[in-house]
């Protein structure tokens, strides 16, 4: 048996001596977080995901999920997950390259490639891991990455992990991107432009055709994050790339299985060479356990619904139009304190003056039976209510939300 050596408590040369509370800084950090109204907590929902959810025994109308098509609680996805678990077990038991590969995995990758119009696809255990692994595999310290200021945190994580020189361009500004390319592209080996297609905390869509033109001119690769586009945008639900007519162009499309597809996991779709390369170099794919049979089968069932049931998407967009019109009227009434951010997606954001106000609004709405996102810094630069619309809301529920927000705003802004 080995003994664990006792730590040496004597202070290192030239340093103050109190090392007795190495975790004490956390209390100070938490105090700072509380003081800024930035503190967050989890809150369990019970029952199946759907337009109405239960929290602490109360029913709430759910305008905060990413389950745009209502597939996370759909009988067909649940049945597919159950059948796959019964047949293949609960876990895939290893890395895809060792013992974790099941026939379902390649089946899902082929179906994603078909939806996206690419040669092939690779499925990761989450969208976050897909971004970390893909970006860090594509570029390294000799390379340049250009990213939109409002990109998702997982893209930023991938950029940091890659060690590449990273520059940020103003939100959706192709002029700024062009200037940065002109000033910096030639000093680097490879160049990668990364952007959300649908921006997750704003709901607007990046100007992809112009971005791809710039990439062509400057010999840059492009990775787009379709987390909120897949299943939602385009005639077939293939995403923003398809909707904007960019399907045939050379780029890498990543996305998640955990939003409109209601499962868990992420993917990258692209050329055969790109996907084969990622299978050999993406460490977050190689050194992690393969997607579970249940998640894989649920995603397959969800994509089947996306393909054969366009009516779900039409219902979603009908609801988006209704809620957007209502929120537009509210923003006009409470202008300039309240602003409806531009959106081309089911993500609709009402910007309000402070974090304290958005927290209060979230609580008031919850008391009156509505679940909406109260999003604050540091997630976003300005506080906002983030409302996400689902296909399975009915028009009455949409109207109830609009009325409740108008009342909550009148109360909260009158007595801050």
Ligand X SMILES: *Cc1c(COP(=O)(O)O)cnc(C)c1O
Q: Which of residues 313-342 bind ligand X (CB under 6 A)?
A: none
Rounded to a whole number of angstroms, the minimum distance from the CB of residue 126 to ligand X is 4
| Greatest C-alpha distance within the chain | 74
Position 152 contacts ligand X (CB under 6 A): yes
328 in Cβ contact with 342 (< 8 Å): no
Q: Is 54 noted as a catalytic residue in this protein?
A: no
Measured from the CB atom, is 109 or 218 closer to ligand X?
A: 109
Measured from the CB atom, is 266 or 326 closer to ligand X?
A: 266
Q: Among 77, 200, 345, 383, which residue interacts with ligand X (rule: CB under 6 A)?
A: 200
Question: Which residue of the set 74, 259, 360, 393 is catalytic?
Answer: 259
Number of residues that bind ligand X (CB under 6 A): 14
Q: Among 62, 162, 256, 397, which residue interacts with ligand X (rule: CB under 6 A)?
A: 256
Binding mask 167-196 for ligand X (x = CB under 6 A): -----------------------------x
Measured from the CB atom, is 51 or 127 closer to ligand X?
A: 127
Output the six-digit token pair for 236.
């077939």
Question: Which residue of the set 228, 258, 292, 343 is catalytic?
Answer: 228
CA distances from 400 to 124, 296, 322, 395 (A): 39, 36, 11, 9
Rounded to a whole number of angstroms, the minimum distance from the CB of residue 172 to ligand X is 15
Cα angle 211, 254, 318 (rounded to 5 degrees) comes to 80
Rounded to a whole number of angstroms, the minimum distance from the CB of residue 207 to ligand X is 17
Binding mask 201-230 for ligand X (x = CB under 6 A): ------------------------x-xx--
Question: Which residue of the set 200, 263, 292, 383 is catalytic?
Answer: 200
Rounded to a whole number of angstroms, the minimum distance from the CB of residue 299 to ligand X is 11
Helix, strand counts (H, E) of the chain? 14, 14
Measured from the CB atom, is 231 or 266 closer to ligand X?
A: 266
Q: Is 333 noted as a catalytic residue in this protein?
A: no
CB atoms within 10 A of CB 171: 16
171 in Cβ contact with 342 (< 8 Å): no
Position 159 contacts ligand X (CB under 6 A): no
Rounded to a whole number of angstroms, the minimum distance from the CB of residue 62 to ligand X is 17
224 in Cβ contact with 127 (< 8 Å): no
Measured from the CB atom, is 154 or 351 closer to ligand X?
A: 154
Q: Which of 169, 165, 230 is nearest to 195 (CA)?
A: 169
Rounded to a whole number of angstroms, the minimum distance from the CB of residue 189 to ligand X is 26
Rounded to a whole number of angstroms, the minimum distance from the CB of residue 365 to ligand X is 22
Rounded to a whole number of angstroms, the minimum distance from the CB of residue 125 to ligand X is 9
Position 290 contacts ligand X (CB under 6 A): no
51 in Cβ contact with 392 (< 8 Å): yes
- Write b or e for each residue in 14-23: b if 16 or more Cβ atoms lie within 10 A of its Cβ, otherwise e: eeeeeeeeee
Q: Which of 1, 307, 267, 294 is nearest to 125 (CA)?
A: 267
Q: Is 360 noted as a catalytic residue in this protein?
A: no
- Write b or e for each residue in 314-350: b if 16 or more Cβ atoms lie within 10 A of its Cβ, otherwise e: ebbeebbebbbebbeebbeebeeebbbbebbbbbbbb
Measured from the CB atom, is 112 or 408 closer to ligand X?
A: 112
Cα distance between residue 245 and residue 93, in whole Å: 40
Measured from the CB atom, is 131 or 315 closer to ligand X?
A: 131
Q: Which of 227, 226, 244 is nearest to 235 (CA)?
A: 244
Measured from the CB atom, is 360 or 390 closer to ligand X?
A: 390
> Nearest residue to ligand X, using CB?
127
Output the six-digit token pair for 231.
């299943």
Q: Which of 68, 67, 32, 55 is nearest to 362 (CA)?
A: 55
Q: Which of residues 97-136 bind ligand X (CB under 6 A)?
A: 126-128, 131
Positions touching ligand X (CB under 6 A) are: 126-128, 131, 152, 154, 196, 200, 225, 227-228, 256, 258, 266
* Catalytic (active-site) positions: 200, 228, 259
């Amino acid at each position: 048996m080995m003994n664990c050596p006792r730590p040496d408590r004597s202070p290192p040369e030239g340093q103050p001596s109190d090392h007795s509370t190495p975790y004490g800084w956390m209390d100070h950090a938490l105090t700072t977080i509380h003081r800024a109204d930035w503190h967050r907590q989890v809150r369990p929902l019970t029952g199946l995901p759907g337009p109405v959810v239960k929290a602490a025994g109360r029913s709430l109308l759910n305008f905060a999920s990413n389950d745009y098509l209502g597939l996370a609680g759909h009988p067909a996805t649940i049945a597919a997950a159950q059948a796959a678990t019964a047949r293949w077990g609960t876990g895939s038991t290893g890395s895809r390259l060792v013992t974790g590969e099941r026939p379902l995995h390649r089946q899902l990758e082929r179906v994603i490639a078909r939806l996206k119009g690419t040669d092939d696809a690779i499925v990761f255990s989450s969208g976050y891991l897909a971004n970390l692994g893909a970006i860090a595999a594509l570029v390294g310290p000799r390379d340049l990455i250009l990213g939109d200021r409002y990109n998702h945190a997982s893209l930023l994580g991938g950029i940091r992990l890659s060690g590449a020189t990273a520059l940020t361009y103003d939100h959706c500004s192709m002029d700024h991107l062009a200037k940065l390319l002109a000033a910096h592209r030639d000093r680097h080996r490879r160049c990668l432009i990364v952007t959300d297609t649908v921006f997750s905390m704003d709901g607007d869509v990046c100007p992809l055709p112009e971005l791809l033109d710039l990439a062509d001119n400057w010999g840059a690769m492009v990775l787009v994050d379709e987390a909120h586009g897949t299943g939602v945008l385009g005639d077939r639900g293939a995403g923003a790339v398809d909707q904007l007519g960019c399907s045939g162009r050379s780029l890498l499309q990543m996305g998640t299985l955990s939003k409109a597809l209601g499962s868990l996991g992420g993917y990258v779709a692209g050329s055969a060479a790109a996907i084969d390369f990622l299978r050999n170099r993406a460490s977050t794919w190689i050194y992690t356990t393969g997607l579970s049979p249940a998640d894989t089968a649920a995603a397959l069932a969800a994509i089947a619904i996306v393909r054969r049931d366009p009516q779900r998407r039409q219902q979603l967009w009908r609801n988006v139009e209704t809620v957007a019109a209502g929120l537009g009227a509210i923003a006009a009434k409470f202008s300039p304190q309240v602003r409806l951010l531009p959106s081309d997606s089911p993500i609709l954001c009402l910007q309000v003056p402070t974090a304290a106000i958005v927290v209060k609004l979230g609580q008031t709405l919850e008391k009156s039976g509505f679940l909406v996102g109260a999003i604050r810094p540091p997630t976003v630069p300005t506080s906002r209510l983030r409302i996400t619309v689902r296909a399975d809301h009915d028009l009455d529920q949409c109207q109830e939300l609009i009325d409740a927000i108008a009342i909550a705003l009148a109360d909260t802004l009158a007595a801050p």
